[in-house]
Structure 1
Amino acid sequence: MNNISIFGKGNMGKALAERFTQAGNQVSFVGRDEQATLGDMVIFAVPFASIDDIIAKYANQLADKIVIDITNPVDFATMDGLVVPADSSAAAMIAEKLPKTAVIKAFNTNFAASLLTSKVADKAQTTVLLAGDCEQSKTAVSEALNGSGLIVKDAGSLKRARELEALGFLQITLAVREQIGWMGGFALFE
């Protein structure tokens, strides 16, 4: 059992809490204005613009933990791009600011509805893609999801976060333009 702290009480934070709890983990939420003791795994389920404040407040506590970044650094003013350099990612920028932390990119290619139901468009089992440089940490996240109803696949090193964020952005764009529903998304078939 893992002790997991989630920053963000929105749809994604609540859906992740349910999946990790179903898998037998202890989950708690960290509020914006509180000072909390963080668990072994920490999930950033907040807008990318909020990350710097969290890091400033919790940098020491985040050392030697697993941080799961679910953000999609979308330029919400234009909905026409990402706010990170083209050769980088939100996860890579977080990793630079937290050099003693294992940063894992995950869940950014999933909508909350597909996490809650464990199904994409009620047709395929929801797959979570992980990217990170620490194999042990990716394994720990995968094991923490055993029994959650989700499939977990290792997408490779943290460099793959760039592609995951592009895929997440595309999925959001399709949903905003009503080309797919918020129950839809991308699925993997084996």
Structure 2
Amino acid sequence: MAVRMLKARHSVQILGRNGEKTRGLVEFLGAGAQGGGEGAVIEGGILFLAVPFEEAKKSVSFYGDALAGRVIVDISNPVDLATFDHLLVPAGTSAAEEIALHASPEAFMVKAFNTCFAKPLESGSVAGIPLDVFIAGDSEQAKVKVSAVVAASGLRPIDVGPLRRARDLEAMMLLVMGLQVSPEHDNFNWDTSLNLLP
């Protein structure tokens, strides 16, 4: 995520609980990146929750009103990693919608990047094709901001509609991740990416 944001010429603030890991990541990223611990003042207008679903709920609760007016991007896939056969959220909702319930009501929740895995995201493409980033949210202004950052980073933003579409994006990844871990599908791995071809 941070590599793409730096490519888009945005500065990046990495906040983490593990100071050593945070420092290592900031040093790896180089110019434009800075770090801080949990509780540090958030400086950016767009916050990417690059943590698992349950931790994301804790993070937005922890920061509370400090998130008011900011765009929060949930990238999580609430998949049961023990079995890869079901989601950890009740039917009729999504991780993004659940996280939004714990966030400041003045924050703008967006679902994006959950279909992009780490290695392809860092490179920005697979087989020479830029990654698609599917974006769901109820605030058009927030989606425009996220779309602009996505496009500036060399990826293709695709607005898929309101935040409830996060349910579809997460369910889609349940299927994909199940294929990735299945020994019956050698061609699927953690470098697999989803793209819509013209």
TM-score, normalised to structure 1's length? 0.86
Secondary structure of 2:196's match?
coil
Query: Which residue in the other structure is 2:195 paired with?
Result: 187
Query: Which residue in the other structure is 2:38 paired with?
Result: 34
Amino acid at match of 1:109: T
**How many angstroms apart in 2 are the aligned matches of 1:176 and 1:155?**
27
Q: How does 1:20-169 map to 2 (within 5 A)?
A: 20-32=5-17, 34-38=38-42, 39-98=44-103, 99-120=105-126, 122-169=127-174
Runs ≥4 residues deviating over 4 A = none
Cα deviation, 1:146-167, whole Å, max 9, x if unaligned, reads: 3311111101000100000011
Amino acid at match of 2:194: F
Secondary structure of 2:114's match?
coil
Amino acid at match of 2:38: E
Q: State which structure, 1 or 2, has the greater radius of gyration over its C-alpha atoms.
A: 2
Amino acid at match of 2:8: A
Query: Which residue in the other structure is 1:6 paired with?
Result: none
Identity %: 40
Asked if the contact 1:171/1:185 (under 8 Å) is kept, the reply is: no
Asked if the contact 1:109/1:171 (under 8 Å) is kept, the reply is: no
Cα deviation, 1:85-134, whole Å, max 9, x if unaligned, reads: 111000111122222110000010111122112223x2532100000000
**How many angstroms apart in 2 are the aligned matches of 1:147 and 1:49?**
30
Asked if the contact 1:45/1:69 (under 8 Å) is kept, the reply is: yes
Q: What are the ranges of 5 or more consecutive residues in structure 2 without an aligned counterpart?
A: 18-36
Q: Are 1:175 and 2:180 an aligned pair?
A: yes
Aligned residues: 174
The Cα shift of 1:83 comes to 0.8
Asked if the contact 1:109/1:164 (under 8 Å) is kept, the reply is: yes
**How many angstroms apart in 1 are the aligned matches of 2:176 and 2:128?**
17
**How many angstroms apart in 2 are the aligned matches of 1:63 and 1:182?**
35
Q: What are the ranges of 5 or more consecutive residues in structure 1 without an aligned counterpart?
A: 1-15
**How many angstroms apart in 1 are the aligned matches of 2:63 and 2:52?**
17
Asked if the contact 1:48/1:90 (under 8 Å) is kept, the reply is: yes
